[in-house]
Amino acid sequence: MGIFHASGSRELAPVNPPVEVYDQYVARQVTTLCLKEKTWSMSGDDFSIADANTRQTILKCHGKSMSLHDRKKIKTPEGKVLYNMRDKMLSIHKTTVAEDEHGREVLKVVKKWSAGSKLSATAVDKNGQEQTLVLHGDMYGASANIELKNGPHLAHISRKLLGATEIIADKQTYFVSIAPGVDISLIVAVCICFDEAENDDKHK
């Protein structure tokens, strides 16, 4: 599988200083991941996350079925939890927060009202510094760009055309290209929130 480039994507230049939550997951070169929602997942929110070229598993996402707050966990292949994700109740806009394994909030993603998808994400690095990311998607949910607020382009998300099995199961596959100097795990977490936002819009 070669690198996937969709319409609307931009050249991804190195980002310095890095945009990160976990420095060990900062990309050293342009990296393309394949996020595939598991077709017969019991929770409906399990993803396999692999390098699009080598097909090596990079991360895993597990959803919790019948969860009031729509909980998810993003883990390393060895099982270490990087993000405990849950929806924040009683918010004006749909809000997802994520905590690390020690309970520290490291990410908050807010869905904005707009034509198409728009998410705003606040990430907290290991030094407690906040960085704001903005995601803009097209009105059909086929692709999206992630940028640092008032800063460089960080990643591009493209949705693969669905096959018959995926259509029946209502599942998605995304290709995510990430710039050097950007935390892969952070972009994965934002991409999964993008998928939720698109599903919410689709089922309204």
Q: What is the pLDDT of residue 193?
A: 86
Q: What is the pLDDT along the chain (204 residues), one digit of tens a residue?
A: 233 334 344 579 999 999 999 999 999 999 999 998 875 544 456 889 999 999 999 999 988 654 545 689 999 999 999 999 998 766 566 789 999 999 999 999 998 755 556 889 999 988 899 999 999 877 566 788 999 998 999 999 987 654 444 444 446 788 999 999 999 999 999 998 888 776 655 545
Of 65, 66, 67, 61, residue with least CA distance to 84:
61
Q: 66 CB contacts (<8 Å, ≥6 apart)?
A: none
pTM, two decimal places = 0.83
Fold topology of 29-181+197-202: Tubby Protein; Chain A (3.20.90)
Strand, helix or coil for residue 63: strand
Q: What stretches of 45-183 show up as alpha helix (H) in DSSP?
A: 164-169
pLDDT of residue 144: 87
Gap between the Cα atoms of 109 and 119, Å rounded: 7
Handedness of CA 76, 145, 21, 13 (dihedral sign): positive
